[in-house]
Amino acid sequence: MLCSRPIVTQSKKPAVLRVAAPVPLRRPFDYLAPESQNPDRLRPGIRLRVPFGKREITAILLEVAAEASVNAEQLRPALDVLDDKPLLTPGIMALCKWSSDYYQHPVGEVFSAAIPKALREGRGLSETHWRLTTEGKGLPEGALSRAKSQAKALALLQTGEQLPEVLKNAGISGAVLRELTAKGLVERCRITTSLPSAALKENGPPLSEEQGSAVAAVEWDSFSCHLLQGVTGSGKTEVYLRLIAACLDRGEQALVLIPEIGLTPQTVKRFEARFQSPVAVLHSGLSDGQRFAAWQAAQSGTAGIVMGTRSAIFTPLARPGLIIVDEEHDGSYKQQDGFRYAARDVAVKRAQLEGCPVMLGSATPSLESLENARRERYRHHFLRGRQGGGELPMLQTVDLRGLQLNAGISDYLMAAIRETVEAQKRQALLFLNRRGFAPTLQCHSCGWVAGCDHCDARLTVHLRKRCLRCHHCAAQRALPAQCPDCGGTALLTHGLGTEQTEEFLRNVLSCPVHRVDSDAMRGVDAMQSLLEVAHSEEPCVILGTQMLTKGHHFPAVQLVGVIDADALLYSADFRGEERMAQLVVQVAGRAGRESAGGKVLIQTHYPDDPLFEALRHGHFESITRSLLDKRRASGLPPYGQLMLLRSDARNERDGEAFLRAVQKEVTGFLPPDCQLIGPLPSAMPRRAGRFRWQLWCLSASRGSAMAAARLLVERAEGLRKSRELSWFIDVDPSDV
Ligand code: ADP
Ligand code: ZN
Ligand code: ZN
């Protein structure tokens, strides 16, 4: 049981305040309570101002301890207590402590992930809400419709009490609120834990049997984990919406995680169309003010639905009732720098700590989740049919061997594109996972190849911007007119990128060609207008990278073409095949969602690869079974737990030497079921001017893995530091 009762210190000794400070050190820090402080205020989860070296910083109180961990005389008193009540809920406190231990990341930095910047800098929380007066509640619909801002304010307040910040972000000024106050329609009140409205704006369609049984399987008030597997369009979101409705009905809040690219205004609108209760949205594109408002709406309990990308998993909820992770297999749930956590896994842990259900949804679940379902740790629900009867597309490979290609496209695929856009007047979606014009620039006279000065990588030709770019670091230079080695002017491009295919298609087709990659899609607006094009259903070609595969709705797409499946097939990463299968099934899922007879063409030189064979028969499950068998044989996740100690150094050999030293230090002290492998160079040994090495640690159980992680970090910290070398631990890495 988690509780936030004040901690009573009985001894005469002064209470020791143990805090998480936002510094990159792995331990908590002790302080004395500020003088004349009411001990009742000193509850875990409040903020304190404390001296730190010569600075003052804001820290979070972890516990009130009886004994100091250092010599008590050395303790300095905290300067100030910033909160009357805990800012963080007991659930979030426990989650941050667990995450710090599990991912072996400094506890203060983990807590920083849970608190918006304004609060980390010491700003206070709002103490008041705005709400409707009795008179305001009694207003007939459409009242004040001539005063637009006033009407807007009333409409928002109709859904429940609102924080001043939320109203401000909705564009409602203080003046408007003053006018409404003068009319006696609204008033300020102290924040109570008001319940968000559970009322529906619209009812959903009646559920299918499969949807109904998934919804019914969720038990409330206790932890359970559910895996909802169904292709795009099978009705997963409808299941989420029903569960959220049930959660709101219980007076609890729902937290919904969405992959980075999936969080578009459309997604939010679909949720807002269903519920009276407002949706608090949290993602990396928010201003500090917006983030603060959404965070406080979640923390105070006014927001019934909290939706966000990865980091939203650390948002405190006053009354957590349900967690949903959409597209649970998605790579964007893993944070790849600083505090390296996997939000999907943290979500499951959080549900366990908060005692609430969690639902993971995907068309192509990760092998980890499938294995958990097989072991009955998760309950597995399938949505096998498509809603609206749209048939699953037919999948076919195009054997490229010996075929003539134009910008990567075979005549066979070209004919299918023409048939789709010209004859059937539908849309075609082409997938090519490489942006730019071509991945290689070479001199025809001497063979020079344009490489990055800082990475073991070639520079990609971007013809539109007339430059060469490294896709692994920030390096960029102008496209040379001559070879820097021999002065030759005959420069050739090799290989294929989206720019090139786009240019070719523009020349041969009369319909529009839209390119969707991170070069073309800068900002939310670009994605928004693409989705408008997709929904306009005008015949066109949409050509893009994996940006296309994420949960978007392309109702008029009749043909999907995978231009270069071979590039996906061979990867150094042990997850390569899993990703490939997920990608193909996800891309295929965009075809023929609402119209029967969608078609998927996969171009490859290896049509007999068992992976394609299985995909042709639409058996994601048979692929995952064979992939799981391979993983079991090698003891790789999900059958063993993997972590990497990674080093990053300016000199070629330093990182390797460092990892060897750590290896020597821990040998003999690791749990018996842990195995060290390496040190090995990373898949791209030199990146952005640094040489990268990794030491693998494979453990048979989670308990041993955590013990091994602690030991590795402790010993690595004990070694002599150098400014030329940095290292970090990556627990459950997603890229190796
Ligand atoms: P997913 O999240 O799996 O992609 P959605 O929940 O978005 O699937 O459903 C796809 C489409 O089918 C949506 O337009 C949705 O409104 C509709 N739909 C979902 N469930 C039902 C149902 N039980 N009856 C009728 N239409 C449904
Ligand atoms: Zn040359
Ligand atoms: Zn580079």
**Among 74-78, 86-90, 95-99, 384-388, which is the least confidently predicted range?**
384-388
Distance from residue 475's CA to the centre of ligand 2 (Å): 21
Distance from residue 456's CA to the centre of ligand 2 (Å): 20
The residue contributing the CA closest to ligand 1 atom 23 is: 207
The ligand that comes nearest to the alpha carbon of residue 229 is 1
The residue contributing the CA closest to ligand 1 atom 6 is: 235
The number of domains in the chain is 5
Q: What was the pLDDT predicted at 534?
A: 83
Place of tokens 């090995």: 680
**Among 294-298, 552-556, 562-566, 708-712, which is the least confidently predicted range?**
552-556
ipTM exceeding 0.90, yes/no: yes
Q: Is residue 292 scored above 60 in pLDDT?
A: yes
Q: What was the pLDDT predicted at 302?
A: 86
Domain boundary among 572, 605, 629: 629
Domain membership flag for residue 479: no
Judge if 512 and 580 occupy the same domain: yes
Judge if 213 and 325 occupy the same domain: yes
Q: What was the pLDDT predicted at 641?
A: 94
Judge if 592 and 538 occupy the same domain: yes
Q: What is the 3-state secondary structure (H, E, C) of 165-231?
A: HHHHHCCCCHHHHHHHHHCCCEEEEECCCCCCCCCECCCCCCCCHHHHHHHHHCCCCCCEEEEEEEC
Q: What was the pLDDT predicted at 9?
A: 46
Q: What is the pLDDT of residues 322-351, one digit of tens each?
A: 999 999 999 999 999 999 999 999 999 999
The residue contributing the CA closest to ligand 1 atom 27 is: 387
Q: What was the pLDDT predicted at 12?
A: 57
The answer to the question of whether 483 is labelled as a binding residue is yes
What is the per-residue DSSP string for 446-463?
T--B-B-SSSSSBPEEET
Phi and psi angles of residue 229, each rounded to the nearest 5 degrees, phi first: -110, 125
Which candidate, 6, 28, 24, 189, places its Cα nearest to that of 81?
Answer: 6
Q: Is residue 176 scored above 60 in pLDDT?
A: yes
**Among 148-152, 259-263, 283-287, which is the least confidently predicted range?**
259-263
Distance from residue 505's CA to the centre of ligand 1 (Å): 33
Domain membership flag for residue 648: yes
Q: What is the 3-state secondary structure (H, E, C) of 653-718?
A: CHHHHHHHHHHHHHCCCCCCCEEEEEEEEEEEEEECCEEEEEEEEEECCHHHHHHHHHHHHHHHHH
Domain membership flag for residue 6: no
The answer to the question of whether 473 is labelled as a binding residue is yes
* Residues, CB within 5 angstroms of ligand 3 (ion): 452, 454-455, 470, 472-473, 475
The residue contributing the CA closest to ligand 1 atom 10 is: 233
**Among 2-6, 242-246, 665-669, which is the least confidently predicted range?**
2-6
Stronger pLDDT, 584 or 251, i.e. the higher one: 251
Q: What was the pLDDT predicted at 484?
A: 94
What is the reported pTM?
Answer: 0.88
Q: What is the pLDDT of residues 547-557, one digit of tens each?
A: 877 656 788 88
Judge if 404 and 507 occupy the same domain: yes
Average pLDDT over residues 439-466: 94
Q: Which atom of ligand 1 is nearest to the CA of 208?
A: 23
Phi and psi angles of residue 459, each rounded to the nearest 5 degrees, phi first: -90, 140
Domain membership flag for residue 612: yes
Judge if 373 and 408 occupy the same domain: no
Q: How many alpha carbons fall within 13 Å on the CB side of residue 694?
A: 18
Pocket test for ligand 1, best of 238, 329, 593 (most atoms within 8 A of CB): 238
Cα(248)–Cα(242) distance, integer angstroms:
10
Domain boundary among 138, 163, 190: 190
Q: What was the pLDDT predicted at 246?
A: 95
Q: Which atom of ligand 1 is nearest to the CA of 241?
A: 6
What CATH number has the domain bearing residue 417?
3.40.50.300
Cα(708)–Cα(696) distance, integer angstroms:
11
The answer to the question of whether 455 is labelled as a binding residue is yes
Domain boundary among 158, 190, 222: 190
The ligand that comes nearest to the alpha carbon of residue 688 is 3
Judge if 227 and 88 occupy the same domain: no
Asked if 263 and 281 count as a contact pair (C-beta separation under 8 A), the reply is yes
The residue contributing the CA closest to ligand 1 atom 11 is: 233
Domain membership flag for residue 316: yes
Q: What is the pLDDT of residues 349-402, one digit of tens each?
A: 999 999 999 999 998 999 999 999 999 999 999 998 766 555 567 788 999 999
The answer to the question of whether 446 is labelled as a binding residue is yes
Q: What was the pLDDT predicted at 1?
A: 43
What CATH number has the domain bearing residue 682?
3.30.70.600
Q: What was the pLDDT predicted at 736?
A: 83
Judge if 244 and 324 occupy the same domain: yes
Q: Is residue 236 scored above 80 in pLDDT?
A: yes
Distance from residue 654's CA to the centre of ligand 3 (Å): 20
Judge if 537 and 621 occupy the same domain: yes
Distance from residue 688's CA to the centre of ligand 3 (Å): 5
Judge if 622 and 658 occupy the same domain: no
Q: What was the pLDDT predicted at 722?
A: 74
The answer to the question of whether 96 is labelled as a binding residue is no
Average pLDDT over residues 170-193: 82
Q: What was the pLDDT predicted at 10?
A: 47
Average pLDDT over residues 656-666: 94
Where does the pLDDT of residue 593 fall: very low under 50, low under 70, confident under 90, or very high at 90 and above? low
What CATH number has the domain bearing residue 69?
3.40.1440.60
Q: What is the pLDDT of residues 518-542, one digit of tens each?
A: 888 876 677 778 888 888 889 999 9
Domain membership flag for residue 463: no
Q: What was the pLDDT predicted at 551?
A: 57
Q: Which atom of ligand 1 is nearest to the CA of 231?
A: 3
The residue contributing the CA closest to ligand 1 atom 8 is: 235
Judge if 576 and 685 occupy the same domain: no
Q: What was the pLDDT predicted at 148?
A: 83
Average pLDDT over residues 662-675: 94
Judge if 68 and 165 occupy the same domain: no
- In 10 A of CB 449, how many CB atoms? 12
Q: What was the pLDDT predicted at 346?
A: 98
Q: Which atom of ligand 1 is nearest to the CA of 238?
A: 6
Angle at 1 between CA 352 and CA 347, to 5 degrees: 20
The beta-carbon contacts of 94-99 under 8 Å, at least 24 apart in sequence, are: 94/2, 94/353, 95/314, 95/346, 95/349, 95/350, 95/353, 96/20, 96/314, 97/62, 98/349, 98/353, 99/339, 99/341, 99/346, 99/349
Distance from residue 398's CA to the centre of ligand 3 (Å): 34
- Residues having CB closer than 6 A to ligand 1 are 205-208, 211, 230, 232-238, 387-388
**Among 127-136, 207-216, 278-287, which is the least confidently predicted range?**
127-136
The answer to the question of whether 225 is labelled as a binding residue is no
Distance from residue 325's CA to the centre of ligand 3 (Å): 34
Distance from residue 691's CA to the centre of ligand 2 (Å): 28
Q: What was the pLDDT predicted at 592?
A: 61
Q: Which atom of ligand 1 is nearest to the CA of 207?
A: 23
Q: What was the pLDDT predicted at 161?
A: 77
Q: For the chain, give the mean pLDDT.
A: 88
Domain that holds residue 226: 209-383
Domain membership flag for residue 441: no
Judge if 647 and 711 occupy the same domain: yes
The ligand that comes nearest to the alpha carbon of residue 459 is 3
Stronger pLDDT, 576 or 99, i.e. the higher one: 99
List beta partners, residue 410: 405
Where does the pLDDT of residue 11 fall: very low under 50, low under 70, confident under 90, or very high at 90 and above? very low
Distance from residue 441's CA to the centre of ligand 2 (Å): 11
Domain membership flag for residue 4: no
